[in-house]
Structure 1
Amino acid sequence: MTEPLWTLSATSLRDAYRAGTLRPGDVLEAILERNATVDPQLNLFATLDVDGARAAAAESDARFERGEPLGDFDGIPVTIKDNIHVKGLRCAWGSNLYLDQISEEDELPVARLRAQGAVILGKTNVSEFTLGRGNVSTLAFGTTRNPWNPELTSGASTGGGAAATAAGVAPIAFGTDGGGSIRRPAAHNSLVGLKPSTGRVARINGLPPILHDFEIIGPIARTTADLAMALSATEGPDAHDRLSFGFTKGQIEPVRKGLKVLYVPQLADMKVEEPIRISCARAAENLAALGFEVETGEAPFDVALFEKHWPSIGGSGLAWLLKDTDWEGRIGAAYPPMIEKGKSLSAIDYVDALMAFRTIYAQLAVAFETYDFIMTPSAGAMPWKAEEFGPPYHRAFTGFVNSAGLPGISIPCDPAEDGMPIGFQLIAPFGKDWDLVSVAAFYEQNHPWADRRPQI
């Protein structure tokens, strides 16, 4: 039996287009039909741009007929998180405050995708201001659900994109990660998700950076090959982003044996739920069997220092963003206390936080003098009820990576007994993003996951 078109990977579509065995327009229609089936159960999109996608697919069809594809992404359906500007589409940031905001320009990674001929389906649902507590459930757009169990969350804040990719609505989702918002949704949906090093994916024409420079654009995909294609299409410097200089394009490389991994199964006394503990321990054993030198140990940085200062960033940023806005009664109930906390912080408090994060980076740099990678669970909690906030420990393993500007990747490991997905995280030294992608590809080759699909 022929596989449905919506199950195909981006690399498979790319190759089929070039071979002339598939047409972008036909693939798009199959994906739109798939979305019509699953979206009523999952609530994936803040804005679905059917007309724009069909026009882009028709242009792609014409280019392939002429033998003139623009790039690897020509005709490939993708989704964009609704905090990234896409010219001509609403960019609501998950909030009633921005329902009338129409993007005048593409943010740079979107422009790079469009230049390669990507078919943009629309803007996926997002936590308000990307400051959710583990779920996507907003006054403006409602609740996004997990295709593996629609009663549960798909994670935050790229929950809409992750759920769409897991459900077969576009093989690749582009999101942002300001504290785990790519990696945790990837883990909750049996996907691979990369938070790149700060600056690897240049950002211009974006929303106000309320999370300082800690929020990075990156891909979520069903396969590592797709993720690599997505990173290659969007990475690289731009003169308008000073953080982007020094990065060059990479590719998947063979993984040598003997690479050293520090496995940190728990941070301080923060809880890790049992299915995650079991699955990630097994993944560590798998890495050892593949030739990695895996050592179990404690976090090589001051966890208490991070936990003390990390909340200062989101609270201060949100208070600054809304300082001249009439927001009362128009935003989610979680945010007024965050705003008040942000207002109460002084400039000294904010600088204290930034200095703390420099200390954490230095501590992690010392660890990387011994180890090639640090391994942790991607999330401390299994998915919970979709409308509810997650337990505090769900986010334990991801934010410190952002604070240090390091690359981190979530890789699927064995699911729980009930079939719900679990992921483990690998962290590399600054700039070593492609080392992570290469290890993910090697792990996938030996422990494949792409054939796992939710029954929806």
Structure 2
Amino acid sequence: MNVSTALPGWQLDACALGKAYRTGRLTPLQVLDAHLERLELVHPVINAMAWVDTGGARRSAAESTARWHRGQPLSALDGVPVTVKDNIELAGLPCRWGSRLYEGHVSALDESPVARLRAAGAVFLGKTAVPEFTLQGYTDSPVTGVTRNPWDPALTPGGSSGGAVAALAAGVGVLALATDGGGSIRRPAGHTGLYGFKPGWNVVPREQGLPEILPGMEVIGPIARSARDLPLVMAVIGAASAGAWPAANAPPPCQRIAYWRDIAGSPVDAEVLARCDASAQALRELGHTVEDMPAPVEVKTFNREAWPIISSTGLAHLLRDQAHAARDVGPALAAMLFSGQAWRATELFEAQAVVRRLIRALTGVFRAHDLVLTPCSAALPWSAADSHPAVIAGKPVDGRGHAVFTAFANAAGLPALALPAGRARHLPVGVQLVGPSDSDSLLLSLALQWEREATGSTRDWPLWP
């Protein structure tokens, strides 16, 4: 018997489930039951789900079981349990965006990537918890409360996809569908030992979703425990032809990689850097060229001068018609709302100019190098109740100090990938690879190479319960 298919149903990846379904060793209904049992065990500790749709999932799993019995699955994801982040519309379920202002909102339609997954036979377990309006780097909201990291429940899994990664890392769901507007897939994936993929701009088309809050920056992408599942998801939700994504299984050519260990001297936890340095060496041993070099100063300028304006004006625009919104959101969001309302049009214009200069600088980087390597986050996970670490490597930092490595890729519309890089002090650490436009498939092929040749496919699980 294949070792992978001897594992409990909730531990199998999508590829292994497909084999188990084809051979009749497992059915989608059996696998759903295993995930629901796992959820009942872990959710009281991690609080990862915003809504569980047991009835809907059971109906979908029964339909999938019948299709596999007839030998007529809809896709490689037919019968695979998937969670959906609670800022993505899933028809018939609440979509509360972590805010009391959306507490009564029930989705009438699936957002288009969800619709494509549904047509492929995916089984939706429900919605995963988010911070309010998905604008913070940890996960706590007035709607769901604090979400905790399964590797250490005293700590955060990050955000804004904190519920998605906490559930997935703990064995709830095989795949998570999430959003990334400034690192919201990659940093949490790094904090929980998962693979997280932020596609390039417009690679995953979006229709019938919530209002934009980070225009031109937020995309939908997958999070997985196994790199080999990522092409399966992208073949369903991506705009490219289905045949383009399995090509990611081909061995990648040797890459020239620029390694940014910090952003213009920004503090980075020493143990995070040690894991990232080891990852750089592992990439060299795989045949890639990795060169330590400074990040362009435009990345720091974007982080400091443009991101605060773009994020807060997006919130102000979203809530522009709600006169009393500030009293109905949490204190952090109220402060962000007031900031967004105070910026002048000329300051927003300059922020957009900063983005254009950033894009020109990154174009120069990709003339000399194929990819950029960075940590996913400058810090290890911190207290679950705190919005951010106050100190990194002995230096005080603001709310974005841990997040300096990710948002530049969103601003430039570039694909980016989080890879698990081992652990420090028992906590997972992630590294990020960023590529130029249209390098999405290449990044997935590198994820597969990383899993096969650098880290291995054997997965550690949180040590509880």
Smaller-chain TM-score range? over 0.9
Cα deviation digits, residues 282-322 of structure 1 (max 9, x gap):
10011111110111000035133202111111100111111
Q: Decide whether aligned partners of structure 1 residues 253 and 56 sit closer, same or farther in structure 2, where only a CA change above 3 A counts.
A: closer
Structure 1 counterpart SS, 2:51: strand
Task: Give the superposition deviation at 1:330.
Answer: 2.0
Q: Aligned runs of 1:138-287 on 2, under 5 Å?
A: 138-236=141-239, 249-251=244-246, 252-287=248-283
Partner letter of residue 406 of structure 1?
A: L
Partner letter of residue 180 of structure 1?
A: G
Task: Give the superposition deviation at 1:333.
Answer: 0.9
Structure 1, gaps ≥5 residues long? 238-245
Cα deviation digits, residues 43-85 of structure 1 (max 9, x gap):
0111110000001001111111222111111100000000000
Q: Decide whether aligned partners of structure 1 residues 304 and 187 sit closer, same or farther in structure 2, where only a CA change above 3 A counts.
A: closer
Structure 1 counterpart SS, 2:272: helix
Task: Give the superposition deviation at 1:370.
Answer: 1.1
Aligned to 1:321: 318
Task: Give the superposition deviation at 1:356.
Answer: 1.4
Structure 2 counterpart SS, 1:80: strand
Where in structure 1 do 4 or more consecutive aligned residues deviate above 4 Å?
none
Cα deviation digits, residues 308-365 of structure 1 (max 9, x gap):
1111111001111112223233211101111111111122222222221121111111
Partner letter of residue 14 of structure 2?
A: A
Task: Give the superposition deviation at 1:440.
Answer: 1.2
Aligned to 1:13: 17
Aligned to 2:448: 441
CA contact (8 A) 2:327 2:334 kept: no
Aligned to 2:393: none
Aligned to 1:240: none
The answer as to 2:113 corresponding to 1:105 is no
Task: Give the superposition deviation at 1:431.
Answer: 1.4
CA contact (8 A) 1:374 1:426 kept: yes
Structure 2 counterpart SS, 1:162: helix
Q: Aligned runs of 1:105-124 on 2, under 5 Å?
A: 105-124=109-128
Partner letter of residue 291 of structure 1?
A: G
Q: 2:420 aligns with which of 400, 412, 424?
A: 412
Aligned to 1:242: none
Aligned to 2:407: 399
The answer as to 2:284 corresponding to 1:288 is yes
Q: Decide whether aligned partners of structure 1 residues 266 and 98 sit closer, same or farther in structure 2, where only a CA change above 3 A counts.
A: same
The separation in 1 between residues aligned to 2:352 and 2:412, in whole angstroms, is: 10
The separation in 2 between residues aligned to 1:83 and 1:167, in whole angstroms, is: 21
CA contact (8 A) 2:157 2:166 kept: yes
Partner letter of residue 113 of structure 2?
A: P
The answer as to 2:302 corresponding to 1:302 is no
Structure 1 counterpart SS, 2:176: strand
Cα deviation digits, residues 224-260 of structure 1 (max 9, x gap):
11122112211017xxxxxxxx998333143355420
Q: Decide whether aligned partners of structure 1 residues 45 and 375 sit closer, same or farther in structure 2, where only a CA change above 3 A counts.
A: same
Residue correspondences, number: 446
Partner letter of residue 249 of structure 1?
A: A
Partner letter of residue 418 of structure 2?
A: S
Structure 1 counterpart SS, 2:306: helix
Structure 2 counterpart SS, 1:220: strand
Q: Decide whether aligned partners of structure 1 residues 301 and 449 sit closer, same or farther in structure 2, where only a CA change above 3 A counts.
A: farther
Cα RMSD for the two superposed structures: 1.5
Task: Give the superposition deviation at 1:213.
Answer: 1.6
Task: Give the superposition deviation at 1:208.
Answer: 0.7
Identity of aligned residues (%): 42
The separation in 1 between residues aligned to 2:217 and 2:131, in whole angstroms, is: 17
CA contact (8 A) 1:412 1:449 kept: no
CA contact (8 A) 1:236 1:248 kept: no
The separation in 1 between residues aligned to 2:334 and 2:266, in whole angstroms, is: 27
CA contact (8 A) 2:179 2:219 kept: yes
The separation in 2 between residues aligned to 1:360 and 1:67, in whole angstroms, is: 51
Between 431-440 and 324-333, the greater mean CA deviation after superposition = 324-333
The separation in 1 between residues aligned to 2:254 and 2:77, in whole angstroms, is: 35
CA contact (8 A) 2:224 2:230 kept: yes
Structure 1 counterpart SS, 2:84: strand
CA contact (8 A) 1:190 1:449 kept: no
The answer as to 2:122 corresponding to 1:127 is no
CA contact (8 A) 1:146 1:152 kept: yes
